[in-house]
Amino acid sequence: MSISKEDAKRHSWARFGMRLALSTSCHPFEYAKVLIQIGYEPIPPRATTTLFGRPALALPNVFQYVGYIKRIDGITGCYRGLTPKLLGNIVSVLGSEKIAEHLGLGSCQEKEDINEDELSDLERRKRFEKALSRDMVLHLSGTIISHPFQVITVRMMAQFIGRETKYCSVLGSLYAIYQEEGFAGFFNGLFPRLLGDVACLLFASAVTFIINKHLVQDKETRSYVGAIATFITSTIMYPFQVVSNCMALAGSGLVASKPPYMPVFNNWQDCWAHLKQRGELKRGSSLLWRYWRPPAYDLGALPPAPAPEFRKSDNKH
């Protein structure tokens, strides 16, 4: 039975509400992940062994990292950057849907009950191309119009490192960025983020279509192919997320954006080359088992020293 447009819209809003609730509850872990991605390691590694019994230096897992943030800033401090992140999600969904509708790429929800096995190869390919075109428009437009909020989110989080209060509110942050960096400042780090998202979408969609068409016959199994393909491609494209978040700090003047925490990069390619040289393009990809390794070009490097302790009263924001 075909799903009515009203039911489809209600289901879509319900899913979106659940996504926002999940994003809110998991925000402290996302916060810790961003700090790891931009290279901040406040807790020194400890001696341990790997699963294979080799000696190693273990960095704190994400739970220990969140515990450190809580000890410094309290529970509310673990939600630094939540407001612009949620606003970015809302703007992304609403804006991208409007753009897709304006371009005549309405939802394919009403056709989900079609049995693809009954379609010809031409019909199946056209259906795939239409869905891919819609997804591409949603990803591109959603990423572009929400990126200023992503920049604000990363900068609010990065203030934890230098204890700054420059980016405290969304409106104040928008004003500060425009005054100091102009309109372009809202889109620092956009290109690597777009590149990673688009490559992930194209590769995952193409692989899913080919596998479901030629290799998988069971309808239930087909539903898992897309999720697996997306997970694999997002893992491959993960370095673009790291570079994007690092570049979001460019021009901010924050302690986190300057040596010794981060070199000053001319562009995102410089950032990529630097992280690749150090073997750190995957920073934050593993949140449970993390091991410290010296930079690839400096095998005599020392592990990070402990960060100075701050009292809650030091964080006035």
When the pLDDT of each residue in the chain is averaged and rounded to a whole number, the result is 86
Q: Give pLDDT, residue 299.
A: 44
pLDDT one-digit tens code per residue, 132-154: 999 999 999 999 999 999 999 99
Residue 31 predicted with pLDDT over 90: yes
Q: Which of 188, 196, 186, 87 is nearest to 140 (CA)?
A: 196
Q: Give pLDDT, residue 107.
A: 64
> What are the strands, taking DSSP E only, across the chain?
46-49, 55-59, 290-291
Q: Give pLDDT, residue 316.
A: 42
pLDDT one-digit tens code per residue, 51-62: 787 888 889 999
Q: What is the C-alpha separation between 85 and 153, in angstroms, rounded?
A: 6
Q: Give pLDDT, residue 195.
A: 95
What is the mean pLDDT of the segment spanning 178-197? Answer: 95
Q: Give pLDDT, residue 101.
A: 86
pLDDT-above-90 percentage for the chain = 59
Cα–Cα distance list, 193 to 206, 247, 278 (Å)? 20, 10, 21
Q: What domains appear along the chain, each with residue ranges and CATH number?
A: 62-108+118-278 (1.50.40.10)
Q: What is the C-alpha separation between 61 and 81, in angstroms, rounded?
A: 21
Residue 3 predicted with pLDDT over 60: no
What is the mean pLDDT of the segment spanning 267-273? Answer: 96
Q: Give pLDDT, residue 213.
A: 80
Q: Give pLDDT, residue 58.
A: 87
Residue 2 predicted with pLDDT over 90: no
The answer to whether 73 and 80 have CB atoms below 8 angstroms apart is: yes
